[in-house]
Structure 1
Amino acid sequence: MAQKAPSIEVNNLTYFFADASLGVHDISLSLPPQSRTLLIGANGAGKTTLLRLLAGKRLAPSGAISISGADPFKDGLEGVTYLGLEWVLNPIVRTDIGVVELLRSVGGDAYPDRRDELVHVLDIDTSWRMSAVSDGERRRVQLAMGLIRPWTVLLLDEITVDLDVLSRAEFLGWLKTETEIRGCWVRWCWVGFGMT
């Protein structure tokens, strides 16, 4: 039986940080299944805060966020993937370890077709050593690591910043296909200009 595509509901969400500063104010939105949503705003506008709340990384006020009827923080939703800066800064991806070992460590052997597709789409050379790659190459490997396991909701927080234009276009094409074939949902956060 096919998994039901997720619905995303945010109702009058206001969030304050521990120091009482405002994170986001009175956000309401309803996103349909299979949508690809781009979240654009200036630094400090609350984009990352909203994505972390949607991912269940922060506790939202009760009833403010629902993903297919569940609270992402309280219910610890399976299939919600958040790739943000703290994930990118993981020190393991700067050590002298091979791409094959890294992909295996995150389930690459359990999803070989998906692994191979991501290696192709992201133009990853499986002979790379992580200590000897560029930032863009490292980011491509990290994206593959984060996406090997199938997801139903994908939250990307400025994660494609180090990708060149061609790599980014290929990756976004892959995301589009994923949402159409698997009925999943993508929310992508970006700060900047020059987007098409």
Structure 2
Amino acid sequence: MSEPPAVEAGRHPAVEVDRHPAVEVDRVTRTFGDVVALDDVSLTVQPGEAVGVLGPNGAGKSTLLSLLAGLRRPTSGTVRLAGGDPRQAATRSRLGVTPQATGLPQTLKVGEVVDFVAGHHRDPLPREEVLGRFELSDLRGRQCGGLSGGQQRRLAVALAFVGRPDVVLLDEPTTGLDVPARHALWGAVRGFVAAGGTLLLTSHYLEEVEALAQRVVVVDHGRVLAEGTVAEVRGRTALRRVRFGAPAGAVPAQLTAGARVVADGSREQRWELLVPDADAFVRALVTAGVAFRDLEVAAASLEEAFLALTGERAAGAGVPA
């Protein structure tokens, strides 16, 4: 499948996007009664950056996006979007948003919904361009109520780009999509960033964050735990993935006591473990006289680093949200 053409980011003189960070969150706290959703959070995203926000359910990710979208005010601290207040219409005109839950008008056709959203923007993308980029052209005459959940989600994401935004916020953008549809959407989003657009996304799919984001922010209990490139966030934990060949039962139990065993040699005599100290583990294998072969040591994946950073609460949740 070929990459779709870039979704060009808009340039409106009402907002001086080139003179300010695209997103500025400065010591923001947001409470809901006794619940602290965000606790002294700071984050800066420069124009043209793609940043993924990871965290378990209830970590504060959706609250952060709602503040950037101007839907809520911070309890304390400041939020700026392209140098402006996101609650002001002139600032929000440069923003595209796909929230975690969207409601589409069930009786309107797909093409009519795109036209309706386009009517709220000064210089929207042409309808057929939007539909083509997000592989919705064949659905233009279908009522939204007759779309599958995945098709509705694709349309909801496409609508975020109709107004040629400079900044796009995507909250769980590909929930409900099959793999081909997800990769097609990724291509459109990559084109937007390549054209100079700024992206901030949350996702259940850590593969998605690795595929789209240049930088990752890990949050939990409303606080930032780690921030950096994917490689840097991985490096915040000492976990290493060790793979080697050896028969099942060849590795003494005491050597695996502090490791997470992914494969125990019972399938094709392949072992795979996540260990906190790869050098010490390999030395222990040699000392114990384990006849291993084809040894590989690699950094932990983003998902493994995420689970290590957020601890048992995230592990119990299974995946971030």
Asked whether the equivalents of residues 41 and 190 of structure 1 are also in contact (C-alpha less than 8 Å), the reply is: no
> Which amino acid in structure 2 is aligned with residue 169 of structure 1?
H
> Which amino acid in structure 1 is aligned with residue 133 of structure 2?
V
More strand by share: 2
How many pairs were matched up?
Answer: 188
Q: Distance in 2 between matches of 1:113 and 1:192?
A: 29
Question: Equivalent residue for 2:29?
Answer: 14
Mind listing any 5+ residue stretches in structure 2 that lack a counterpart? Answer: 1-10, 211-321
Q: Deviations over 1:158-185 (max 9, x none)?
A: 132122222222222222222232x221
Instruction: Provide the TM-score with structure 2 as the length reference.
Output: 0.53
The worse-fitting range, judged by mean Cα deviation, of 156-165 and 112-121 is: 112-121
Distance 1:114 1:36, change over 3 A: farther
Question: Equivalent residue for 2:202?
Answer: 189
Question: Equivalent residue for 2:40?
Answer: 26
Question: Equivalent residue for 1:104?
Answer: 115
Q: Distance in 2 between matches of 1:69 and 1:145?
A: 24
Distance 1:132 1:194, change over 3 A: same
Distance 1:71 1:159, change over 3 A: same
Instruction: Provide the TM-score with structure 1 as the length reference.
Output: 0.83
Asked whether the equivalents of residues 24 and 50 of structure 1 are also in contact (C-alpha less than 8 Å), the reply is: yes
1:133 aligns with 2:147: yes
Task: State the structure with bigger RCO (CA 8 A, min sep 6), 1 or 2.
Answer: 1
Q: Distance in 2 between matches of 1:24 and 1:39?
A: 13
Mind listing any 5+ residue stretches in structure 1 that lack a counterpart? Answer: none
Distance 1:129 1:70, change over 3 A: closer
**Counterpart secondary structure, 2:34:** coil
Q: Which structure is larger by alpha-carbon Rg, 1 or 2?
A: 2
Asked whether the equivalents of residues 14 and 26 of structure 1 are also in contact (C-alpha less than 8 Å), the reply is: yes
1:143 aligns with 2:154: no
**Match among 117, 123, 139 for residue 135 of structure 2:** 123
Over aligned residue pairs, what C-alpha RMSD do you find?
2.5
Shift of 1:142: 2.3
Q: Distance in 2 between matches of 1:31 and 1:85?
A: 21
Q: Distance in 2 between matches of 1:113 and 1:155?
A: 18
Asked whether the equivalents of residues 41 and 191 of structure 1 are also in contact (C-alpha less than 8 Å), the reply is: no
Taking only the aligned residue pairs, the percentage that are identical comes to 28
**Counterpart secondary structure, 1:147:** coil
Distance 1:177 1:29, change over 3 A: same
Shift of 1:61: 4.4
Distance 1:132 1:42, change over 3 A: same
Distance 1:43 1:152, change over 3 A: same
**Counterpart secondary structure, 1:144:** helix
Q: Distance in 2 between matches of 1:145 and 1:56?
A: 18
Residues 43-122 of structure 1 aligned to structure 2 (within 5 Å): 43-61=57-75, 63-73=77-87, 75-76=88-89, 77=91, 78-86=93-101, 88-90=102-104, 92=105, 95-107=106-118, 114-122=126-134
Where does structure 1 differ by over 3 angstroms across 4 or more consecutive aligned residues?
A: 2-6, 108-114, 192-196
Q: Distance in 2 between matches of 1:142 and 1:165?
A: 17
